[in-house]
Amino acid sequence: MSEDLNNGKVLNTRMVPFRSLALYMIFWGVSVVLFHIITDWMLVERDATLSRLHLLSEIVFGMGSGLVAYGLLARNSVQIKQLKAALQESEDKFSEYVEDTTGARVLERKLTKRVVEESEQRYRSLFDTHPDMVFSCDLEGNFIEANAACVAVSGYTLEEALHHSFSQFLYPEDAPEVKYRFQRTIDEGEVQHYRCRIVHRDGHVILLDVTNIPIFVEDRVMGVYGIAKDITDEVHTREEFAETKELLESFFASTTDAIYLIDNQGIVCKVNEAFERIYGWSAEEIIGQNFSLLVPPGRQEEMRKLNEHLDCQEHLTDYETVRMRKDGSLFDVSITVSVIRDQNGQRVALAGIGRDITERKRVESALREIEYRYRLITEHTSDIIAIYDQDQIIQYVSPRVDQIFGYSADDYIGTNNFDHLHPDDFGEIMERLDSLYRTGESVRIVFRQRHADGHYVWLETMVMPVFDLHEQVIGLVVIARDNTERRRTEELLRKSDKLAVVGQLAAGVAHEIRNPLTSIKGFAQLMKNRLPEYNHYLDIMLSELDRIEFIMNEFLVLAKPQAVKFVKTDLQELLGDIVALLETQAIINNVQIITEYEDNLPNITCETNRLKQVFINVMKNAIEAMPDGGNLRIRTERAGADLVRVRVLDDGCGIHPERIPKLGEPFYTTKERGTGLGLMVSYKIIKDHQGDIRFKSRLGEGTTVEVELPIIQDSKNVLTVGDVG
């Protein structure tokens, strides 16, 4: 079979039947379709459309190739071998095309997958690291996802929050509004912005600023994204700032101090009402004017120095100066100025506060004048004036304490003097102070306080309370007077009264006894001559009569003045005579007399016999106080420029402290058979010699008697002794 397919050219080969060509084309098309079905199954859904386009183009290409081949065979009677070659070539080109196309699709799919993965990573990075709370919910309000900020802010873990409704974390009062906003986001697909409160896991409330964003899938809302920011601190800060601003504005408006702002050129920018009242300028008048209008003419240099100070120190506090009112009058003012700087640290203004201190200055001046007058009184009065606080700590004490106690005022300030009080007086002092605090009334207290050298000084004090505005005692004012000399004088007067009474009694007794005593003594002597066999008894009688006469003579010393003559005497020689006299008695009592005389001791002027009487009494008492023996020490020494001191020390039993003040009183004695007249007479003799006698003793340790005598007596050699008036 042959056909003229190419301009009448006849091919001498077997022609391809049309039916075979059709089968080939069908086979080709089916193969291509099957190939693309398999490819579509392997591709993801988003590549399906692209795959269909490739399928259509390849089918068209395949059919076109078959038709071309058929045309060639039909027209040119192409031989089967040539047709096969043509088809093979076409098939090879088609295979190359398919391979190229498939490679492009694979590359495209890889690129698409990479873009998707990067997008997912960006989303996840943004979601996880966002500083605010980011979460998603389903349509029921259950949490699907939540980032780390949700955990940090709420305190709940992801396990505790995910798949649970947001409503269980809400502050109860805010739940209705939040649910309404959430539902509106779903129903209307609109972004919702609102504030709400949630309850932290530990119970405290957190305020959030929330934005709800709908999640669309194929134009349908499938869930809600949420972004929430913790604004608790921010809101609190704003509230505090608003409150502070309100307080500052209230302070600015209502304070009694003048407040003003001035710029770097010295122009007044703002003033308060107090400024208007103090300076006399209204705000409208002074704002925009230079501050120098308020500075007196002579103080411009001071202003320049203050500006220089503010450049260096930033603040000026409680600086006292003078300012000028609108009417030209001057007044005292205390100013505090601070520098205001911008965010770059540049000075932009000055804020000043001024307080009118004219009245305060006047009061201070008056107080200084009063203080000066009172200080004159307190520092020159003979009494001690002290001020105590509510804790009984001394805040002030007058300088008189130095002369009375031997301590300076500084030694007392900041302390209380309770440890200086005599132990026997402490209880009474506390009782009186309790009464003062209880009744609020002043009290009078007499007590003893220790001197720096150890002895006690008698004080007569008036303690007065100091009250505060609520009538509570907040301190004490104490006025104390040294009462030692007065008490000593009173004691001397008391003793003098006793001596006067004893003297009057002695005069009467001596007068009444002396006459019969003379008769008895005369007859006893007469009987002694006539009755020698009774001489022993008569000697005893005469001895006792001599003793009675001696006592009468002692009485007469007290009863009437006597004229005695003072002569210069060597004190060591006088004491030596007495030691020699008493040495026998000392040996009998196992007492050793030890003398310790200071060299070059000056002579004294005295009535020798009467002074011997004093030392005999003192030494005999010392010997009798040592029944078991001991040492009797006699020491002499200078006691200043005009005195000598004799000390008689024993190792006896001592004298109780309560008995020492009574020594020298008439008929008071510590001995079993004593009369109490010996020391009384000794006191009187030492007093007549313008000296002093003192006793110091401790039980079980012994007694020390100190006798001080002047070196030079009165210019008159004759001194009247025994005047008890």
Kindly tell me if the per-residue pLDDT of 156 is higher than 60: yes
Q: Residue 617: phi, psi to the nearest 5?
A: -60, -45
Kindly tell me if the per-residue pLDDT of 43 is higher than 90: no
Kindly tell me if the per-residue pLDDT of 193 is higher than 90: yes
3-state helix, strand, coil in the chain (%, to 5): 50, 25, 25
Whether residue 569 contacts residue 606, with contact meaning beta carbons closer than 8 Å, is answered with yes
- Quick check: helix, strand or coil at residue 198? strand
Each residue of 391-427: b (16+ CB within 10 Å) or e? eeebeebbebbbebbebebebbeeeebeebbeeebee
Kindly tell me if the per-residue pLDDT of 8 is higher than 50: no
Token duo for residue 709: 């005598």
Kindly tell me if the per-residue pLDDT of 717 is higher than 50: no
Between CA 337 and CA 316 the distance in angstroms is 5
Task: Identify any residues that bridge with 146 across adjacent strands, giving them in sequence order.
Answer: 135
DSSP state letters, 444-491: EEEEEEE-TTS-EEEEEEEEEEEE-TTS-EEEEEEEEEE-HHHHHHHH
Between CA 407 and CA 400 the distance in angstroms is 9
Q: Of 661, 647, 658, 638, whose CA–CA distance to 703 is shortest?
A: 647
Between CA 410 and CA 449 the distance in angstroms is 17
> What pLDDT score does 212 carry?
93
Q: What is the mean pLDDT of residues 181-208?
A: 92
Q: What is the mean pLDDT of residues 585-596?
A: 87
> What pLDDT score does 28 carry?
60
Separate counts of helices (H) and strands (E) for the chain: 19, 24
Q: What is the mean pLDDT of residues 513-538?
A: 79
Kindly tell me if the per-residue pLDDT of 723 is higher than 50: no
Class level of CATH domain 488-556: mainly alpha
Q: Which long-range contacts (CB under 8 A, 24 or more apart) does 329-332 make?
A: 330/296, 331/278, 331/356, 331/358, 332/356, 332/357, 332/358, 332/360, 332/361
Confidence bin at 192 (pLDDT 50/70/90) = very high
> What pLDDT score does 345 carry?
83
Between CA 384 and CA 477 the distance in angstroms is 11
> What pLDDT score does 16 carry?
46
- Residue pointed to by tokens 């039947």: 17
3-state secondary structure 193-226: EEEEEEECCCCCEEEEEEEEEEEEECCEEEEEEE
Q: How far apart are the first and last CA of the chain?
A: 196
Q: Is 688 exposed, middle or buried (0-12, 13-18, 19+ CB in 10 A)?
A: buried
Token duo for residue 66: 């078959």
List the CATH code of the domain at 381-475.
3.30.450.20
At 222, the amino acid letter reads: M
**High-pLDDT (> 70) share of the chain, %:** 75
Q: Residue 481: phi, psi to the nearest 5?
A: -125, 135
CATH value of 130-236 in 3.30.450.20, 3.40.50.920, 3.40.1000.10, 3.20.20.140: 3.30.450.20
Kindly tell me if the per-residue pLDDT of 390 is higher than 90: no
For residue 469, give the DSSP letter: T
At 19, the amino acid letter reads: R
Kindly tell me if the per-residue pLDDT of 710 is higher than 60: yes
Radius of gyration, CA atoms only, the chain: 65
Q: How long, in residues, is the chain?
A: 725
At 461, the amino acid letter reads: T
> What pLDDT score does 673 carry?
52
Kindly tell me if the per-residue pLDDT of 36 is higher than 70: no
Whether residue 705 contacts residue 648, with contact meaning beta carbons closer than 8 Å, is answered with yes
CATH value of 255-362 in 3.40.50.880, 3.40.190.10, 3.30.450.20, 3.30.420.40: 3.30.450.20
> What pLDDT score does 78 carry?
45
The region of weakest confidence among 157-161, 378-382, 507-511, 625-629 is 507-511
Q: What is the mean pLDDT of residues 400-407?
A: 87
Whether residue 86 contacts residue 72, with contact meaning beta carbons closer than 8 Å, is answered with yes
List the CATH code of the domain at 561-721.
3.30.565.10
Kindly tell me if the per-residue pLDDT of 70 is higher than 80: no
- Quick check: helix, strand or coil at residue 635? strand
The region of weakest confidence among 78-82, 412-416, 579-583, 616-620 is 78-82
Q: What is the mean pLDDT of residues 510-535?
A: 78
The residue extents of the domains of the chain are: 18-110, 130-236, 255-362, 381-475, 488-556, 561-721
Task: Identify any residues that bridge with 86 across adjacent strands, giving them in sequence order.
Answer: none
Kindly tell me if the per-residue pLDDT of 455 is higher than 60: yes
Whether residue 302 contacts residue 324, with contact meaning beta carbons closer than 8 Å, is answered with no
3-state secondary structure 130-178: CCCEEEEECCCCEEEEECHHHHHHHCCCHHHHCCCEHHHHECHHHHHHH
- Residue pointed to by tokens 């007694």: 703
Confidence bin at 46 (pLDDT 50/70/90) = very low
Report pLDDT digits (tens) over 163-174. 888 888 999 999
Between CA 615 and CA 662 the distance in angstroms is 19
Confidence bin at 683 (pLDDT 50/70/90) = confident
Question: What count of Cα atoms within 13 Å lies in the side-chain half-sphere of residue 132?
Answer: 14
Between CA 632 and CA 519 the distance in angstroms is 43
For residue 44, give the DSSP letter: -
Q: Residue 564: phi, psi to the nearest 5?
A: -125, 155
The region of weakest confidence among 59-68, 111-120, 294-303 is 59-68
Between CA 712 and CA 662 the distance in angstroms is 30
> What pLDDT score does 39 carry?
56
> What pLDDT score does 524 carry?
80
130-236 and 488-556 share one fold: no
Does this model's pTM top 0.75? My answer is no
Q: Is 621 exposed, middle or buried (0-12, 13-18, 19+ CB in 10 A)?
A: buried
> What pLDDT score does 287 carry?
92
Kindly tell me if the per-residue pLDDT of 472 is higher than 80: yes
- Quick check: helix, strand or coil at residue 383? coil
> What pLDDT score does 34 carry?
61
